[in-house]
Structure 1
Amino acid sequence: MEQIIEYIQLNVAIAPYLIFGLLFLAGFNIPVSEDLMLFVSAILAAQNPEYATALFIAVFAGAYISDLICYGLMGRYLGTKIFKIKFLSSIASPEKIEKITNFYEKYGILTLLFGRFIPFGVRNALFLSAGLGKMNAWKFAISDFIACSISCVTFFSLYYHYGKTVIEYVKKGNIILFSIAIIVALILFLRKKNSKSLKV
């Protein structure tokens, strides 16, 4: 990945196409970091203002279309067949999908809006579970468009204006969000377990 990033930085004119292409692949659960692409595109935009618009459109379109692929093709179309694909089974294990589906049932679109900001493989599991659970396609597309817009504009702007100085704060923010998600998931799991034991 380091060599790819270096190549992108040395070829600014085609950088938007490369960034879009890499994020497009991420929709198929190829390990491409959206956060890294946002950082690289924003830094390049700051260094080359004439490409700023093209770079932002590329990273936004790539991120959004990647989400739709993960939801539509991988989740709705392939469905449970994805569990038979070795490199996807760890990202989208039945247990992880069940936990996220519980969030959907309880909090609806808010799950998607909040989850869009959680890295560490949670995003794709979120989109897959939305597809597997046959979440309304328009509802997913609209809510994810809103969430993607907020996250891309926020992080692109931060990196564009502050560069590397803001990375540590973003990392800490991601860790906090991830920790909150784990705690909420644990609380829901315990509540579900307790309600089952009470019924018995």
Structure 2
Amino acid sequence: MTSLMDMIQANIAMAPFLIFGLLFLAGFNIPVSEDAMLFISAILAAKNPEYTTSLFIGVFAGAYISDLICYGFMGRYLGNKIFKIKFFANMAPPERIEKVSNFYKKYGILTLILGRFIPFGVRNALFLTAGLGKMNALKFAISDLIACTISCVSFFYLYYTFGETVISYVKQANTIIFAIFIAVALGLFIKKKKQKS
């Protein structure tokens, strides 16, 4: 990450466009970390205050458009065609799509808000399954706009204000959130199995 940051710092005027471009690619499930882009853009903004607004716009727009690509193009448009690719077949099997669709129906916007804070690829899986499950496009766009605003503003502010000192706390929090997510998913899976038997 240091070398990427050095490269972007050396081209600071282009940084918002580079960050936006990398996040744009993430919408196609190319492994670009939104968390890393938020961290890099906030640290660069702290070092170059005159670019704060453009860096935030770049990372925010990239994150939001990436979500819309994953939902709209990958999920709704390509849909079942992508299941011919093993990577996607494993990422969103039919039972997971049904489960996530039920979460969206039951908890609505909360699913997206909480989902944005779950790391390790869960985010894109949520957006992909929302598209595959044909969640209402306007509802998704508005809900995700709210969720994206909350997460981007929160993390950008934290990284901008506290810099690298806060990164270890964020990593620990991410691990805890992911562990809770796994525990809840496992609990629901066991509950469903018991109801069937």
Q: TM-score, normalised by structure 2?
A: 0.93
Cα contact 2:98–2:133 (8 A) shared by 1 = no
Separation in 2, partners of 1:114, 1:46: 27
- Confirm or deny that 1:135 pairs with 2:163: no
Structure 2: gaps of 5 or more residues:
none
1:73 corresponds in structure 2 to 73
CA deviation digits over 1:164-200, x for unaligned, max 9?
Answer: 0000110111111111111111121112112212xxx
Cα contact 1:28–1:69 (8 A) shared by 2 = yes
Question: After the TM superposition, which parts of structure 1 deviate over 6 Å for at least 4 consecutive aligned residues?
Answer: none
1:176 corresponds in structure 2 to 176
2:157 corresponds in structure 1 to 157
Aligned length: 197
Q: Secondary structure at the match of 1:40?
A: helix
Cα contact 1:64–1:144 (8 A) shared by 2 = yes
CA deviation digits over 1:58-95, x for unaligned, max 9?
Answer: 00000000000000000001111112224434433445
Separation in 1, partners of 2:94, 2:48: 44
CA deviation digits over 1:26-55, x for unaligned, max 9?
Answer: 000000000000000000000000000000
Question: What is the CA RMSD across the aligned residues, in angstroms?
Answer: 1.6
Assess, with a 3 A threshold, how the Cα gap between structure 1 residues 105 and 184 changes in structure 2: closer, same or farther.
Answer: farther
Same amino acid, percent of matched pairs: 74
Q: Read off the aligned partner of 1:24 and give its amino acid letter.
A: F
1:63 corresponds in structure 2 to 63
Q: Secondary structure at the match of 2:91?
A: coil
1:110 corresponds in structure 2 to 110
Residue 105 of structure 1: CA displacement? Answer: 4.2
Separation in 1, partners of 2:174, 2:14: 30
Say which is worse superposed, 115-124 or 181-190, in terms of deviation. 181-190
Separation in 2, partners of 1:123, 1:92: 12
Q: Read off the aligned partner of 1:103 and give its amino acid letter.
A: F
Cα contact 1:119–1:174 (8 A) shared by 2 = yes
Cα contact 1:96–1:125 (8 A) shared by 2 = no
1:50 corresponds in structure 2 to 50
Say which is worse superposed, 66-75 or 94-103, in terms of deviation. 94-103
1:38 corresponds in structure 2 to 38
Q: TM-score, normalised by structure 1?
A: 0.92
